[in-house]
Amino acid sequence: MQGKKILVTGGTGYIGSHTIIELITQGYSVVCVDNCINSDKSSLMSIHQITGVSVPFFQVDLCDSYETKKIFTAHPDISGVIHFAALKAVGESVEKPILYFRNNLDALINVLDLSIQNGVKAFIFSSSCTVYGEVLKSPVDENTPLQAAESPYGRTKQIGEQIIEDSVKNEMTQSILLRYFNPAGAHPSGLLGESPINQPQNLVPVITETAIGKRDTMTVFGNDYETKDGSCIRDYIHVCDLARAHILALSYIFNGRQKVPVEIFNVGIGNGLTVLEVIKAFEKESGLRLKYKVGPRRPGDVVAIYSDHAKASKELGWYPQYNVNDIMRTAWAWEQKRQQR
Ligand code: NAD
Ligand code: WQD
């Protein structure tokens, strides 16, 4: 795919920045847009350090259709769009649903509309396992019926998927909806990882922030679930494995292998781990004892969800290369690096 130009929205964020590295490594040319509401431009410096490439960057709020259009005018040869840009804090979305609907849906509609108008061939969308809602059993495959979303954030992903399905039906743009499970970990170089502006609430950064002393202790949300050790089960996927799935999704469309307007793929490693197992993996990799206590269940938590990713393996040729130990090792290396800074 030498030279094809890809617009990455939300590209200074966690998954976007790791995906840009993978795109550059695979010979794509990249344009990045982000309004830096939950990231900063330092990730572009890390991308430069790792790849030697300075990525053209637009600091634009994608809800602003006028400013967004200028990106497509400046780069009329964009062949693919990977749309990461969104707000993602589940709890905040419950408190501020309008903010989430406005930001996540307005931005999607603007980028999608301009992609279709400008003849973009491939539109890849960051969806989430959250669209499955309270599942009755795992693993979940792409045919598992969606339940009501647990939060306005989750609803923006369900509605986002529907908007795309309706909009590309009769267009030359084809789309892939990637339903991520629990992304975690950092780039193996130690130069890039998760550094959100908002305080992270996800398990892995909470663990590393506790270990480094940014938090006094952490809470395991419940140990009375019907699981092997009583804590919830999730499917943690290394961010670099996830990044690779986007490149394979682009190739799938560019090589003419996609026969329908929209395809959906689960991207998780398919291995359910409990919260306590993740903590043990951290302790093994870091050699530290983590300060944690067991607290009550977190409202809205699903007992267990993990993926069946057979479709992504069969169609895209995607197989995870990292495990939970790699996730914890790279996440911990990144936390220590941030501390030095
Ligand atoms: P992130 O917050 O690190 O990255 C998202 C980026 O989008 C941020 O840099 C933010 O500044 C930018 N952004 C938000 N609204 C914008 C707007 N209106 N205009 C321009 N830029 C805007 O989050 P992430 O973890 O990298 O997530 C990327 C995508 O993947 C999101 O769509 C998220 O919903 C989805 N997702 C994330 C997870 C996860 O656990 N990290 C899981 C499933 C799906
Ligand atoms: C994982 C497990 C917690 C923090 C969220 C979104 C989902 C998707 C992925 C975007 C759970 C437990 C956590 C802590 C804990 N994101 N935990 N103590 O809730 O599976 O999914 O991120 O689309 O939509 O909901 O991820 O990392 O918050 O939690 O015990 O301090 O860790 O209860 O069992 P979750 P998480």
Encode pLDDT of 136-168 as tens digits.
Answer: 899 999 999 999 998 999 999 999 999 999 999
CA of 129 to the centre of ligand 1 (A): 15
User: Quick check: is 319 catalytic?
Assistant: no
For the purposes of burial, counting CB atoms within 10 Å of the CB of 330, is it exposed (0-12), middle (13-18) or buried (19 or more)?
buried
Q: CATH number for the 5-185+236-268 domain, one of 3.40.50.720, 3.90.1720.10, 3.40.50.300, 3.30.420.40?
A: 3.40.50.720
- At 136 the pLDDT is 87
**pLDDT one-digit tens code per residue, 185-220:** 999 999 999 988 888 999 999 999 999 999 999 999
Question: Is the CB of 83 inside a 6 Å radius of any atom of ligand 1?
Answer: no
Helix (H, G, I), strand (E, B) or coil at 206: helix
Work out whether the CA dihedral 92, 226, 292, 183 comes out positive or negative: negative
| Global pTM value | 0.98
CA of 227 to the centre of ligand 2 (A): 16
The Cα 89–Cα 14 span in angstroms is: 13
Q: For residue 173, which of 274, 250, 60 has the smallest C-alpha distance? A: 250
Q: For residue 15, which of 199, 197, 242 has the smallest C-alpha distance? A: 242
Task: Give the residue, out of 7, 22, 34, with the most ligand 1 atoms within 8 A of its beta carbon, to mutate for a pocket test.
Answer: 34
The Cα 190–Cα 326 span in angstroms is: 12
Helix (H, G, I), strand (E, B) or coil at 6: strand
The Cα 318–Cα 71 span in angstroms is: 31
Please report the DSSP string for 257-276 in residue order.
---SSEEEEEES-S--EEHH
The Cα 173–Cα 261 span in angstroms is: 7
The Cα 218–Cα 208 span in angstroms is: 10
Question: Is the CB of 211 inside a 6 Å radius of any atom of ligand 2?
Answer: no
pLDDT by position in tens, the chain (length 341): 668 999 999 999 999 999 999 999 999 999 999 999 999 999 999 999 999 999 999 999 999 999 999 999 999 999 999 999 999 999 999 999 999 999 999 999 999 999 999 999 999 999 999 999 989 899 999 999 999 998 999 999 999 999 999 999 999 999 999 999 999 999 999 999 998 888 899 999 999 999 999 999 999 999 999 999 999 999 999 999 999 999 999 999 999 999 999 999 999 999 999 999 999 999 999 999 999 999 999 988 989 999 999 999 999 999 999 999 999 999 999 999 988 87
Question: Is the CB of 105 inside a 6 Å radius of any atom of ligand 1?
Answer: no
- At 300 the pLDDT is 85
Question: Is the CB of 302 inside a 6 Å radius of any atom of ligand 2?
Answer: no
CA of 192 to the centre of ligand 2 (A): 22
